[in-house]
Amino acid sequence: MTDKPKLNPTLKLVLDLGPLVAFVIAYWRFDIFVATGVLMAGIVATLAVSYALTRHIAVMPVVTAVVVLVFGSLTLFLHNETFIKLKPTIIYLLFAATLFGGYLFNKPLLAIVFDAMFHLTEEGWRKLTLRWAAFFIVMAVLNEIVRQTQTTHFWVNFKGFGFPALTFVFAALQYPLLTRYASEQPNPEAEAEREEV
């Protein structure tokens, strides 16, 4: 059994943030509809590059891409920016529901996503899963507050800078948990399921 190829961390960060950066720049130069088209193209491009380099694509980027393409298409076809603004809410709620579901059925879904980077005990994965699921719910609520109370200009800037900053801070705050529940051995169930993805 061979390990799947992994992306260089710097390249992975570029692929993760590239479509969002392009979206914000396109909005500044044009409008929300051009930016939506750019975001859709960027998401497809990053999936293609990721697959070309590793010969597999993780589940979360695929789910994100599907939601972006569906809500982006609705935005463009109906010429209604509400749909692209709803996209983060839908994605955050999907991720939260998936993590809560995995937690309830004792499936280490977060471990499958992150186990290539670090290893935790079973208790560590369960606590981290609950934290990330709760964080995604907070982010969904926050997106709805901003979407419904602020201008499109504010929402785009908050999406481009606020959400990534909040995610980075939250992830950094998990470091004590990661060290407390660190394990030298990978989670066997996570390893088995990751091989099937």
**Residue 193 confidence (pLDDT) above 50:** no
Give residue 185's pLDDT band: very low, low, confident or very high (50, 70, 90).
low
Give residue 155's pLDDT band: very low, low, confident or very high (50, 70, 90).
very high
pLDDT digits (tens, 9 = 90+) for 34-66: 999 999 999 999 999 888 888 877 778 888 899
pLDDT > 70 in the chain, percent: 84
CA–CA dist 68, 62 (Å, integer): 10
Q: What is the DSSP letter of 177?
A: H
Select the more confidently predicted residue: 178 or 85: 85
Amino acid at 184: E
pLDDT at res. 196? 43
User: Which of helix, strand or coil describes residue 182?
Assistant: strand
Q: Which of 75, 84, 96, 65 lies closest to 156, judged by CA?
A: 84
